[in-house]
């Protein structure tokens, strides 16, 4: 921030307005917003700059604005304190304009001259209860191309008029209506489609980095994702391209689906614990199928900085789904509590992964420039295994190898072996190269040994620790 924003603005002294929208959707684990914490340290240095920040009043955001340096110079505008008549006037204007645009665009439908009539606009405004997200969702619902706008509008207007607060009124009823229609549009077994819906939509909402339809299909092994999402375009941003990521339009939709009190139809309820386990197992399965030695078919002892068009190799041979699985499976693991019925299945899957695909996983992380994720992964796995008090056979042996970490005898903590990162990042194939560069024994440079000598050398150093297939075997190694 100091180099990109503070320095240039301080030097230019230009009067500037910076807008930060939807701060609540920035994910961080700090008790006070990380962005606000950083801003509080520099705001006095750029007095000519004003910040306009929007966001839902979540605890960490409220705490951020209460920081000592920000509080006296912050003016808070709560939207629910704005005069209701002003908000309603804006929402009505939005409804009239957007619905009129829909009528003009749909030459295949018959509309009365006064559609939408003022009484319907009044009802919609009342249902919105001052929440623009409701109005935005209604317009997308009415404009769904496979339905007649007049029929869609009648469905919404006929809903009960008990809309008072977001999450407890119109928006929940609206979400339920859209979901029920989406299921009605699918001519398949109801039980099967509900399960399919929860799998697909649960993954869309719970993945830690938005994925495209193609990547989700590969990861979940589901071929007809487009069918499930076809009637959900008013709730999810589903791009025309199957290679672009899918996102929820607004945080209120995942909040609704993951709250059993608000989502009263359990057929639609997405239980985070269950679906994080599903995503994790899908990641481990997919890595088991796709990871292999020298996945990008590079020359022996290739130096990554010298590989021509490495991004193309990454895209062709690794792809978004495998990259996601390699980077984020430990984060999903952390979200599975010890009380989960999936705990035993997850333990077995993780141990099987370490036994068979450890080094191939490291290879992909190095190729993608995300090798540091392996360090954090070990921390995450260690944390989860500690919580479940599991018998850490494979995992204990992995830690003892000191590939990613070493024990600090002073504090008893596991720390990253950063000295190996740079070397490992520069060379990925073949497997003996990994081991030579990862070991903390002083070994000759790969280029100074024949392939046979290297193979013999690394086997003697790591015998019993790694299998030939790239996995880790249960053995104590110090």
Q: Is 470 among the domain residues?
A: no
* pLDDT value for 398: 52
- Are β-strands 247-248 and 49-53 bridged in parallel, bridged antiparallel, or unpaired? unpaired
Residue that terminates a domain, selected from 215, 240, 270: 270
> Is there a single domain that holds both residue 264 and residue 280?
no
Q: Is 21 among the domain residues?
A: yes
Which residues are bridge partners to 303 per DSSP?
A: 427
> Is there a single domain that holds both residue 241 and residue 289?
no
> Is there a single domain that holds both residue 423 and residue 350?
yes
> Could you give the CA distance from residue 417 to residue 291 in angstroms, rounded to a whole number?
24
Whether cis (ω within 30° of 0) applies to the bond prior to 116 is yes
- Are β-strands 49-53 and 236-237 bridged in parallel, bridged antiparallel, or unpaired? unpaired
Report phi then psi at 245, rounded to 5: -70, 150
Q: How far is CA 72 from CA 16, 21, 30, 66, 200, in A?
A: 20, 22, 22, 9, 46
Q: Is 340 among the domain residues?
A: yes
> Could you give the CA distance from residue 264 to residue 142 in angstroms, rounded to a whole number?
23
> Is there a single domain that holds both residue 11 and residue 117?
no
Q: Is 53 among the domain residues?
A: yes
Contact 167, 250 (CB under 8 A): no
> Would you state the structure tokens that stand for residue 378, as one six-digit string?
């070990």
> Is there a single domain that holds both residue 156 and residue 189?
no
Residue that terminates a domain, selected from 77, 103, 120: 77
> Is there a single domain that holds both residue 404 and residue 302?
yes
Whether cis (ω within 30° of 0) applies to the bond prior to 305 is no
> Is there a single domain that holds both residue 293 and residue 437?
yes
Q: Is 414 among the domain residues?
A: yes
> Is there a single domain that holds both residue 282 and residue 408?
yes
Residues 6+ apart with CB under 8 A from 309: none
| 3-class state of residue 284 by DSSP | helix
Q: Is 93 among the domain residues?
A: yes
* pLDDT value for 407: 36
| 3-class state of residue 114 by DSSP | coil
> Is there a single domain that holds both residue 320 and residue 407?
yes
* pLDDT value for 185: 63
* pLDDT value for 331: 94
> Is there a single domain that holds both residue 262 and residue 277?
no
Q: How many domains does the chain have?
A: 4
> Could you give the CA distance from residue 170 to residue 323 in angstroms, rounded to a whole number?
39
CA pseudo-torsion sign 87, 91, 96, 98: positive
Only one residue has tokens 């301080």, namely: 10
> Is there a single domain that holds both residue 289 and residue 145?
no
Per-residue pLDDT of the chain (478 residues; tens, 9 = 90+): 778 888 888 888 889 999 999 888 777 667 667 888 888 888 888 888 999 999 877 777 888 888 888 989 999 888 777 898 999 999 999 999 999 999 999 988 889 988 999 999 999 998 887 878 888 888 988 988 888 999 989 888 886 654 333 444 467 888 888 888 777 766 666 677 888 889 999 999 999 999 999 999 999 998 888 888 877 887 888 888 999 999 988 778 898 999 888 888 888 999 999 999 999 999 999 999 999 988 988 887 777 777 888 888 889 999 999 999 999 999 999 999 888 888 889 999 998 998 889 889 988 998 888 888 888 888 888 888 888 764 444 455 555 444 444 433 333 333 334 444 444 444 444 333 443 333 333 333 333 334 344 344 434 433 444 455 555 444 333 3
Residue that terminates a domain, selected from 253, 270, 287: 270
> Could you give the CA distance from residue 20 to residue 435 in angstroms, rounded to a whole number?
46
Q: Is 230 among the domain residues?
A: yes
Q: Is 472 among the domain residues?
A: no
Query: Residue 111 sits in which domain range?
Result: 84-164
* pLDDT value for 416: 39
Residues 6+ apart with CB under 8 A from 201: 228, 229, 232, 236, 257, 270
Contact 32, 63 (CB under 8 A): yes
> Is there a single domain that holds both residue 207 and residue 338?
no
């Amino acid at each position: 921030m100091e180099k990109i924003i503070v320095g240039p603005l301080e030097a230019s002294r230009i009067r500037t307005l910076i807008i930060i929208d939807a701060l609540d959707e920035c994910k961080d684990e700090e008790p006070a917003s990380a962005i606000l914490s950083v801003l509080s340290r520099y705001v006095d240095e750029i007095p000519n700059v004003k910040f306009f920040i929007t966001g839902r009043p979540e605890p960490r955001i409220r705490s951020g604005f209460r920081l000592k340096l920000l509080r006296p110079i912050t003016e808070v505008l709560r939207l629910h304190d704005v005069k209701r008549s002003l908000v309603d006037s804006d929402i009505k204007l939005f409804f009239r304009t957007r619905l009129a645009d829909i009528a003009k665009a749909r030459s295949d439908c018959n509309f009365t001259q006064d559609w939408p009539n003022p009484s319907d606009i009044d009802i919609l405004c009342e249902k919105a209860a001052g929440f623009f997200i409701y109005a935005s969702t209604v317009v997308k619902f009415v404009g769904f191309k496979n339905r007649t706008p007049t029929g869609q509008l009648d469905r919404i207007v006929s809903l009960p008029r008990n809309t008072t607060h977001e999450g407890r009124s119109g928006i929940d009823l609206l979400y339920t209506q859209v979901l029920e229609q989406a299921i009605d549009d699918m001519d398949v077994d109801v039980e099967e489609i509900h399960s399919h819906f929860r799998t697909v939509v649960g993954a869309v909402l719970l993945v830690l980095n938005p994925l495209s339809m193609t990547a989700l299909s590969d990861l979940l092994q589901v071929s007809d994702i487009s069918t499930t999402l076809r009637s959900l375009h008013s709730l999810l941003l589903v791009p025309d391209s199957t290679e672009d990521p899918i996102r929820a339009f607004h945080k209120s939709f995942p909040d609704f689906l993951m709250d059993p009190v608000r989502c009263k139809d359990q057929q639609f309820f997405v239980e985070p614990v269950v679906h994080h386990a599903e995503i994790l197992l899908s990641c481990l399965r997919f890595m088991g199928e796709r990871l292999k030695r020298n996945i990008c078919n590079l020359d022996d002892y290739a130096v990554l900085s010298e590989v021509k068009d490495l991004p193309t190799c990454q895209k062709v041979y690794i792809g978004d789904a495998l990259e996601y699985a390699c980077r984020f499976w430990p984060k999903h693991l952390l979200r599975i509590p010890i009380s989960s019925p999936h705990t035993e299945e997850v333990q077995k899957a993780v141990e099987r992964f370490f036994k068979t695909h450890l080094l191939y996983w490291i290879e992909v992380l190095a190729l993608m420039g995300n090798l540091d994720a392996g360090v954090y992964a070990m921390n995450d796995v260690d944390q989860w295994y500690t919580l479940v008090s599991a018998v850490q056979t494979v995992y204990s042996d992995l830690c003892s190898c000191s590939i990613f970490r070493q024990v600090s005898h002073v504090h008893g903590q596991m720390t990253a072996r950063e000295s190996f990162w740079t070397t490992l990042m520069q060379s990925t194939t073949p497997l003996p190269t990994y081991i030579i560069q990862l070991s903390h024994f002083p070994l000759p440079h790969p280029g100074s040994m024949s392939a046979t000598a290297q193979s013999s050398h690394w086997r003697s150093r790591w015998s019993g620790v790694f299998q030939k297939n790239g996995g880790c075997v249960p053995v104590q190694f110090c």
